[in-house]
C-alpha cells in the first residue's frame, strides 16, 4: 500500500497576546492509503490540532504536510478550499449539520462543492437512514445525526475521512454502530479513515494507532490483525 499522508516535523503554535502555546511539537508520521487509523491521547494533547492541520482547516507554523504528493502547507486559501472540498470528509463530535436543512438536503449540499453526482437518498440508505431523509436535524437522534454527518462526508467520495471524537456524544451502543460503519467504509471503499478518540479499546480495531501527548508523538503501533469493531469488548 502506498503512503497517502506524511507529516514531517510539523509544529503548530497558538499565539494569544504575548503567550505562545506549542500545541504540536515536531510531529512526524505517515499514513497509508485505505488505512483505518486511531489517534489516542489525553485531553489537550493536540489531537484536534493534528486533525485540523491535516484537514486544511488550519495551517501549520512549521514543517511539511504532504498529502498524495502535494505540500498542503504551501497551499493558499483557494487551494486549501479546493483541497478540503475534494480530499477531506469531516465528521465532528457534535455532528454540525445545517439545522435548517433536512437530512437529505444536508447530504445533497455537497453537490455545490464537488463534481460528483450525488443521490442523497442512496447515500442515506448506505448509512441506514432511508426512512429519515426528510427530517430536520432537530428531529433526529444523536446517532442518526451522526450518521447523516457520515453520509454528508462520504457523499463527496473524499480520499480521507477525518473524525474528531465521532462517538463522543453518543451512548456506547450507538457509538459501536457508528464506528462499525466507519470501519466498513475503510475496508470496502478503501477510504483512509482517521479517528480521534479517548477510548483506548478502539485501538484493537485499528490498522495503525498513533498516541500523542503534550503535542508530541508518544508512540505509533501497527496491528497486523485488527479486530472488527463489533467484536471488541465494549
Partner 1 sequence: MSLSKKMLRDIKINKTQFISIFLMAFLGIFAFCGVCSEYYGLEQTSNDFYADNNLADGWIYNTTITDDALDKINNFSTDSEKQLVVKSVGNFSNDPDITLHFIEDNKISKFNVAEGEDINISDDSGVWLDKRFADAQNLTVGDNISFSFNGITIEKEIKGIGYSPEYVYEASPTSILPDFKDMGFAYLSHNAFPSNIQYNVLLVKFNQSADDFEDSLEKSVDCLSFTRQSEHVSVSQFNEEMSQHKMIGNVFPIVFILVTFLTLLTTMTRIIAHQRTQIGVLKAVGYRNRSIIMHYMSYGFWPVLGGAILGLVLGPAIIPNLFYPTMSYRYSLPAWHPGFDMSFIIVAAVMVISSLFVSYLAARNISKENPANTMRPKAPNISSSGFLESSKLWSKVGFNIRWNYRDAKRNKFRALMAIVGVMGCVALLVSAFGMNDSMEHLKTWEYDDISHFESKLIVESGASLSDIDSIREDVNGSTIMEQAIEIKVQGNEKVGSLLVLNDTNLISHTDKNGNPINLSDTDISLSAKIADSLNVGVGDTIEWHIVGSDEWVKCEITNIHGEPLSQGIILSKDMLEESNLTFSPTSIITSKNVTEDYDSIKSISTLTEMKNNWDEMTGSVMMMVSILIFFAVLLAIVVLYNLGILS
Ligand X SMILES: Nc1ncnc2c1ncn2[C@@H]1O[C@H](COP(=O)(O)OP(=O)(O)OP(=O)(O)O)[C@@H](O)[C@H]1O
- Which residues in this chain contact ligand X in the complex, by CB under 6 A? 14, 16, 21, 23, 41, 43-49
CB of 43 to ligand X, least distance (A): 3
Q: Is 139 near partner 1 (CB under 8 A)?
A: no
CB of 60 to Mg ion, least distance (A): 17
Q: Is 111 near partner 1 (CB under 8 A)?
A: yes
Q: Is 99 near partner 1 (CB under 8 A)?
A: yes
46 binds, options ligand X, partner 1, Mg ion, none, Cβ within 5 to 8 A by partner type = ligand X
Q: Are 120 and 104 in contact (CB under 8 A)?
A: yes
Segment lying near Mg ion (by CB under 5 A), choices 46-54, 65-73, 152-160, 180-188: 46-54
Whole-Å CA distances, 67 to 6, 46, 189, 230, 234: 6, 20, 19, 31, 34
CB of 90 to partner 1, least distance (A): 5
Q: Is 156 near partner 1 (CB under 8 A)?
A: yes
Of residues 42 through 61, those in contact with partner 1 by CB under 8 A are 52, 55-59
What are the backbone angles phi and psi of residue 223, rounded to the nearest 5°?
-90, 120
CB of 7 to partner 1, least distance (A): 17
Cell of 186: 475503510
Q: Which long-range contacts (CB under 8 A, 24 or more apart) does 82-85 make?
A: 83/56, 84/55, 84/56, 84/57, 85/113, 85/114, 85/156
Of the pair 152, 208, the CB lying nearest partner 1 is at 152
111 binds, options partner 1, ligand X, Mg ion, none, Cβ within 5 to 8 A by partner type = partner 1
182 binds, options Mg ion, ligand X, partner 1, none, Cβ within 5 to 8 A by partner type = none
Angle at CA 90, nearest 5°, toward 1 and 97? 155
Q: Is 48 near Mg ion (CB under 5 A)?
A: yes
Of the pair 33, 82, the CB lying nearest partner 1 is at 82
Beta carbons within 8 Å of 174's beta carbon, 6+ residues apart? 141, 142, 143, 146, 167
Q: Report the C-alpha gap between 205 and 57 in whole angstroms.
A: 27
Q: Which spans in the chain are helix H?
A: 47-54, 77-87, 103-108, 120-126, 142-155, 172-189
- Looking at the DSSP assignment, which residues form a beta bridge with residue 10? 27
Q: Report the C-alpha gap between 71 and 35 in whole angstroms.
A: 20
Residue ranges binding partner 1 (CB under 8 A): 52, 55-59, 77-78, 81-82, 84-86, 88, 90, 92, 96-101, 105-106, 108-114, 152-153, 156
Interacting residues toward Mg ion by CB under 5 A: 48
Amino acid at each position: 500500500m502506498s503512503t497517502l499522508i506524511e507529516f514531517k516535523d510539523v509544529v503548530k503554535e497558538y499565539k494569544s497576546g504575548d503567550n505562545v502555546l506549542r500545541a504540536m511539537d515536531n510531529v512526524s508520521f505517515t499514513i497509508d492509503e485505505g488505512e483505518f487509523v486511531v489517534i489516542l491521547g489525553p485531553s489537550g494533547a493536540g489531537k484536534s490540532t493534528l486533525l485540523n492541520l491535516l484537514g486544511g482547516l488550519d495551517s501549520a507554523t512549521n514543517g511539511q504536510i504532504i498529502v498524495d504528493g502535494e505540500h498542503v502547507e504551501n497551499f493558499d486559501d483557494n487551494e486549501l478550499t479546493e483541497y478540503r472540498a475534494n480530499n477531506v470528509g469531516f465528521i465532528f463530535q457534535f455532528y454540525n449539520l445545517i439545522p435548517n436543512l433536512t437530512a437529505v438536503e444536508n447530504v445533497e449540499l455537497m453537490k455545490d462543492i464537488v463534481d460528483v453526482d450525488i443521490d442523497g437518498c442512496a447515500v442515506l440508505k448506505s448509512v441506514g437512514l432511508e426512512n429519515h431523509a426528510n427530517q430536520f436535524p432537530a428531529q433526529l437522534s444523536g446517532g442518526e445525526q451522526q450518521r447523516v454527518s457520515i453520509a454528508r462526508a462520504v457523499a463527496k467520495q473524499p480520499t480521507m475521512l477525518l473524525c474528531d471524537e465521532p462517538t463522543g456524544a453518543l451512548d456506547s451502543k450507538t457509538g459501536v454502530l457508528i464506528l462499525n460503519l466507519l470501519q466498513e467504509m475503510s475496508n470496502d471503499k478503501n477510504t483512509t479513515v482517521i479517528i480521534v478518540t479517548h477510548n483506548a479499546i478502539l485501538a484493537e480495531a485499528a490498522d495503525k494507532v498513533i498516541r500523542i501527548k503534550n503535542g508530541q508523538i508518544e508512540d505509533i503501533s501497527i496491528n497486523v490483525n485488527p479486530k472488527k469493531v463489533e467484536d471488541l469488548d465494549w
